Chain A
Amino acid sequence: MDTQQLVEWLYTNAQQGNWRVLIGGALSAVVWFLRNGILRPGVDKWPVVGRLSAWLKTDRGGVALTLLVGILGGVGTALASAHAVDGKVLLSGVINGVIGAGVFNVSKRALKPADKKEKRAAISIPLTMLIAFFTVSCASGEYMFRYDQATLTASVGGMACKDTLSDVNDLRLKSCRKILDGGDATGADQCLVEWVATYKTANDVCYELKRIAKAAFLARGVVATAPDAKAQAVSWTVKLLAAGAKVATLYAEKGIVAPEVN
């Protein structure tokens, strides 16, 4: 579910009069803002508030915060509209909070999967569909043009793969050096060893993409004049795009495009 679908979903529920779900959506947005906008990492270092802030960012703390915001929202609305704050208002706040927690959880899992398998699927499924689309497009004619496009894509992808890895190498080394500057040589060593292992895995897929782009380029003349030129061109195009997809999947899985900086 992407952001647009989420908005559509909330809107549809509002149109159908299912206001509780809309309130739940709004509540989860408020909770998200509180946890990410107000209770920022800097706040965690404050004496007393910091401990509470850190706890509110845990799973249990998130549930408690959502319920609290739901109840306070219900009480606030009742007071603003000059209604009495009774048990019904409090219960309604709890129900809204529970719905809000559900909406928050669904959105978080769909938009930001924590599981590596989910992360891999999130990127590999659209890429596989893209490859299928271009394969059909190749089979429908103009296959040598598609072959050239795929070769160029794989080459540019190979360079982007290497450039990104190099940029992220700088960031990760900077992060390891920070540990060293803090006086923890063993921690810095561990940080470097872990990163070098990830670097090697990512570098291998960049080299694989480069290898296949070069092989496709060298084979172009033979493919174009072969009796089964179309079948060969389609096969090469799939191989080239699949190698690119492998890089994208691995980078997403290892967090190489959006590295964490300590």
Chain B
Amino acid sequence: MEEILKIAGSLAVRAVGLVAMWAGAKTPEEREQIRVNAERAVLALDPHFAEKDAEDKAKQDALRADIEAAKP
């Protein structure tokens, strides 16, 4: 339950951040900051995905190996 709440909480924080971003940012400086943040976020996507892919696959493979070992 704690883990589920953690996932939901993390999504809620991001959602609030995005709503604040869509609703605010009226000055040219704030708008430029959004363009810069968008660039940073896009550039961070590939390494982030690669890292998560590797982690998830390793965990799935470990369980698969244990299942195979336990099979009669």
Residue numbers of A with Cβ under 8 A of B are 134, 145, 148-149, 151-153, 155-160, 162-171, 173, 176-177, 180, 185-186, 188-189, 192, 196, 199, 203, 206-207, 210, 213-214, 217, 257-259, 261
Contacts and interface: CB of A to CB of B under 8 A. Distances in A.
A49 B11 CA distance: 39
A192 B3 CA distance: 20
Nearest to B66: A180
Query: Quick one: which of B38, B39, B49, B66 has the most chain A CB within 10 A?
Result: B38
Given A156-B17, A166-B56, A149 B34 contact: yes
B4 A259 contact: yes
B54 to A, nearest CB: 10
The secondary structure that dominates the A interface is helix
A152 B6 CA distance: 23
8 shortest A-B CB distances, which residue pairs? A155-B41, A152-B38, A185-B70, A217-B42, A151-B38, A148-B35, A166-B52, A185-B71
Chain B: interface size category: 35 or more
A185 to B, nearest CB: 4
Given A166-B55, A166-B56, A217 B38 contact: yes
Given A162-B52, A177-B63, A258-B4, A145 B31 contact: yes
A167 B6 contact: yes
B41 A188 contact: no
Nearest to B71: A185
B3 A148 contact: no
Given A149-B22, A149-B34, A168 B7 contact: yes
Contacts of B6: 167
Nearest to B56: A169
B45 A152 contact: no
A160 B45 CA distance: 11
Contacts of B67: 180, 185, 188-189, 192
Nearest to A166: B52
Contacts of A186: 71
Contact of B34 (A152, A157, A163): A152
Given A176-B63, A210-B49, A261-B4, A217 B14 contact: no
A169 B59 contact: yes
A156 B18 contact: yes
B48 A171 contact: no
